[in-house]
Amino acid sequence: MEQLSFFDGGGQSPKLPTDLMDYRPSFFSREESAGYITAFHSNINWKQETIQMYGKLLNTPRLTAWYGDNNKTYAFSGKRFDPHPWTPELLLIKDRVDAACGITFNSVLLNLYRNGNDSVAWHADDEPELGINPVIASVSFGQIRRFEVRHKLNHKEKYSIDLENGSLLIMKGDLQHNWQHQVPKSTKALKERINLTFRVIG
C-alpha cells in the first residue's frame, strides 16, 4: 500500500502535485499572523454549527464563520448562510490572496480548530455555486495541522501536507471534483488554529 506524501523528512517534497495544489509557507510573517489571530478573537462572529447525522443532531467539531459580499448566500449541508460583511483584517488578507491567485474572491469561510479534537471530515468543496474546478485559497494561522488529500475513487492515492502558521495553500484543478480533503483529529495536545478558505460564489 503506497502512501504518497509531500514530505521528505521535513520541508516540502518534490511530489507535490502542482496541478492540484500550490503551497506557499510564510505567505504572512509571524508578526502579521499573530496580529490576525488576536483580531479574529475579538471581531469574528464564531458559531457552533450542528449537523444532522444518523438521525442525531451533532455539533460540528470546530467553530465556523462566514464572511463576504452581501449578495452571496451559500447553501451548505442543507443550510443557507448569509455572510457577515468583510472586516478590515479580512479585506487586508483578501487583497494579498487575490493578488497571489489573480482572482477576486467574494467570500471566505473561517474555521477555528480549538484543539486536536477539532477537525474537518473527508469532503470536497463541490457545491454548485462554486462552479466547476474552483480555485479555493486556504490561509492558516496558529497551530500546524495535517491536511490530507485522497482520490475519491482510490482512497490509497493519498497525499498529506502540514499547513504551517502564515501559510497559503491554493487548491485548484480538479481537486474538488476528483479528490477529497480533511484535517484529522490528533491525540496530541494541540493549540488553536484558524483557517480561512477564500472562495468565489457565483
Interface with ligand AKG, residue 197, by CB under 6 A: yes
Least distance in angstroms from the C-beta of 125 to Fe ion? 4
Interface with ligand AKG, residue 181, by CB under 6 A: yes
Grid coordinates standing for 152? 475519491
Rounded distance between C-alpha atoms, residue 121 and residue 104, angstroms: 28
When the beta carbons of 86 and 149 are compared against ligand AKG, the nearer one is 149
Interface with ligand AKG, residue 120, by CB under 6 A: yes
Grid coordinates standing for 127? 457545491
Contact region for Fe ion (CB under 5 A) — 29-37, 61-69, 124-132, 150-158? 124-132
Inter-residue contact 10 to 20 (CB < 8 Å) = no
When the beta carbons of 86 and 164 are compared against ligand AKG, the nearer one is 164
32, 49, 98, 125: residue in contact with Fe ion (rule CB under 5 A): 125
Rounded distance between C-alpha atoms, residue 197 and residue 193, angstroms: 13
- For 122-160, give one letter per residue: b (16+ CB within 10 A) or e: eebbbbeebeeebbbbbbbbbbebebebbeeeeeeebbb
When the beta carbons of 39 and 121 are compared against Fe ion, the nearer one is 121
Least distance in angstroms from the C-beta of 198 to ligand AKG? 11
Interface with Fe ion, residue 126, by CB under 5 A: no
Interface with ligand AKG, residue 66, by CB under 6 A: no
Interface with ligand AKG, residue 200, by CB under 6 A: no
Interface with ligand AKG, residue 33, by CB under 6 A: no
Interface with Fe ion, residue 148, by CB under 5 A: no
163, 168, 200, 201: residue in contact with ligand AKG (rule CB under 6 A): 163
Note the residues at the interface with ligand AKG (CB under 6 A).
109, 111, 120, 125, 138, 147, 163, 181, 183, 195, 197
Note the residues at the interface with Fe ion (CB under 5 A).
125
